[in-house]
Amino acid sequence: MQDMRAPLEQILAAALREQPEEECLEYDELLALVRRGRWARGYHRAVRHIGACSACRRAYLELRAIERMRRQQIRARLGQLIELPTVWVPAAGAAAAAIVVVALLLMPRGTQVAQSMPALAAPETQIATAPPEVRTYSPTPRLSSDSGRLKPPKSTALELESGGNMPEFVQLAVRAFTGAVASATRSPQPSSKQSPPIRLLRPDIERNRVILETAPTFEWQPVDGAEKYTLIIRAEDWELSESLNADQTRYTLPPDKSLSRGGEYQLVLVAYRAGEELTIKRRFRVLSEKRLPILEWAKQNEHVLPLQSGMVYYYQLERFADALRCFQRAQRMYPDDAQIKQYLRFVEERIRVQEADF
């Protein structure tokens, strides 16, 4: 029987049972894949990865739905622009005719109208005029203390409308997040109710996908009856393993073994007690160097622009707990806005999925 699926669907189906061997795709790579398709850089590698990685596959499908909505909006706006001349051109002609009629009515009787247009004479005294002020707009985010003087918008709509004057990464986050919320199903996705055998306290990779430090401290709750622990941190070509006593529930990476910015890692923590092994495995990424200014922008603006900062935390930084904190602040600022409740439910569901992935 002939396979009627598209080439992309065939590749995805073939890779579904494979495990991802590379680090997860960056947001920019997913966006390029959605917008350029086969002509995106690293197309085949990216398709193989999203076929094996559920997180990247979910993000890709969400971005594809958002991109379709964006293109529909662009076509609608172009249609409006094409229709504009039929409205304002006749209006401008009517206004000019009205001015001529009023001028003729106000002209004194007996005044002769010149047969030719007089030349415009230059004024006798030259008046110096100041050159027009040139305004420059920086595309980079404002990271100085000036952002502290911004006044919070009075409503959710006003805050989101102001996103058009923000850096491009803010606009992308707003479009991506609002589009994902709009296309999300109303019924909550089923998630595992099983609690992890070991609760990790630091860093908060139970609720976040990305950590900020390159030499983090790993701390967890003591396991009753545990005799010892083993902590393992793995990368594609690197591994660190430490054996710890029962009273050692904290480990800080030494400076010579710090993690790389933008690197993808897996934490494996094992507790041994009475002949059994309790294990958790959590994947995480270290924030890349190029996203540090984005993090700084979100920190500086989350008090006055909590919605936009929350969306940046969610989509640009994958810091879901920070996004939840911003939306909770927005709910206090805009208590009558029902849309924020949808944002909160959306982020809370994503956190539940993150917590269940151990």
Give me the phi and psi of 211, to 5 degrees please: -110, 165
| Cis peptide, bond prior to residue 203, ω within 30 of zero | yes
CA separation for the pair 78, 71 (Å, rounded): 11
Residue pointed to by tokens 């993150």: 354
Structural domain boundaries, residue 44: 7-81
Note the pLDDT tens digit of each residue in 185-220: 655 555 556 789 999 999 999 999 999 999 999 999
- Is residue 235 a part of any domain in this protein? yes
Domain boundary among 81, 98, 130: 81
Nearest to 62 by CA among 180, 209, 189, 182: 180
Statement: residue 233 has pLDDT above 80: yes
- Domain count along the chain: 2
CATH number at residue 250: 2.60.40.10
> Judging by DSSP bridges, how do beta strands 210-211 and 276-286 pair with one another?
parallel
Give pTM, 2 decimals: 0.60
Mean pLDDT of 119-134: 41
**176 vs 95, which has greater pLDDT?**
176
- Residue 252 in any domain: the answer is yes
Tokens of 269: 């923590």
Of 66-80, 87-101, 151-165, 309-323, the range with the lowest mean pLDDT is 87-101
Domain termination site, one of 247, 271, 287: 287
- Decide if 276 is inside a domain: yes
Answer for the pair 40, 46: CB distance below 8 angstroms, yes or no: yes
With respect to residue 182, please indicate whether it lies within any of the assigned structural domains.
no
What residues contact residue 278 under an 8 Å CB cut-off, 6+ apart?
A: 197, 198, 223, 226, 270, 271
Domain-ending residue, one of 272, 287, 302: 287
| Average predicted confidence (pLDDT) for the chain | 78
